[in-house]
Structure 1
């Protein structure tokens, strides 16, 4: 298995290094990393990781700012990542941490690390152990903050 990790210089946390560290803890996998300037550069980076570097799955890591323009750019990047998945028939795990999700820099750094690590585990499960994800279906899993839990009647 080969995992692609695409991250950005715009992010305020080195999410790519965190993803690689966590991936190595859960599987013996080859890892290909690409760093691009911003979120809207992620779709082509991911497509190249899949098509040119033959990755089985890719993590797209980004940190949109808190301004409305940043939210628009994040949406555009997300749309591009969805298109890339459909074009390549490969999963791309989008790991975005919006700056306005956290109350301060410490919480932002914590959230970026937690979400990245949890999604790295998801990437391994998706390719190597999909039955583990099926077991968690409907349990309200969240990456970063606390899980929501299943809805009750």
Structure 2
């Protein structure tokens, strides 16, 4: 049975893992392993441990960096670490960050976190079981958490 790892943080102000798990269960029969850490800079090692120690086939790394300049730096460092962990393990780690300044109010921020986590969870399922769906979606301007941008004229999707 395939395993999907979910790495999330206590720093986040929304439980994005709950949304991701719910979406995964709608689309696949997999074992889900959750690993919660304090903050985004802890996500790379959590993701790597999910892959190496818990034998996860793919990991979704969920984080909610704050709006302050230092939070942007920490998010960048975490992102770099997640890329390194992918290269070290040869596994996909889908980074799902929702920055606190992406929405004007808390209600919109919560909706964004819910939607982005769910949409990326579906991407993880597609990567594991139906990669051809992603190929068909190439060039279509998908935007997780927001309305899709759509393709440029003449540039939509491979069929």
Shorter-chain TM-score bucket reads over 0.9
Number of paired residues?
A: 153
| Corresponding residue of 1:33 | 34
2:143 pairs with 1:142: yes
| Corresponding residue of 1:23 | 24
Unpaired stretches in structure 2, ≥5 consecutive residues: 155-159
**2: CA distance between counterparts of 1:136 and 1:89?**
23
The structural deviation recorded for 1:44 is 0.2
Task: Give 3-state SS (helix, strand or coil) of 1:12's partner.
Answer: coil
| Corresponding residue of 2:51 | 50
* TM-score normalised over the length of structure 2: 0.95
| Corresponding residue of 1:59 | 60
| Corresponding residue of 1:14 | 15
**2: CA distance between counterparts of 1:134 and 1:117?**
19
Moved over 2 A (4+): none
The structural deviation recorded for 1:152 is 2.2
**2: CA distance between counterparts of 1:40 and 1:148?**
30
| Corresponding residue of 1:80 | 81
The structural deviation recorded for 1:18 is 1.3
**2: CA distance between counterparts of 1:135 and 1:16?**
27
Unpaired stretches in structure 1, ≥5 consecutive residues: none
* TM-score normalised over the length of structure 1: 0.99
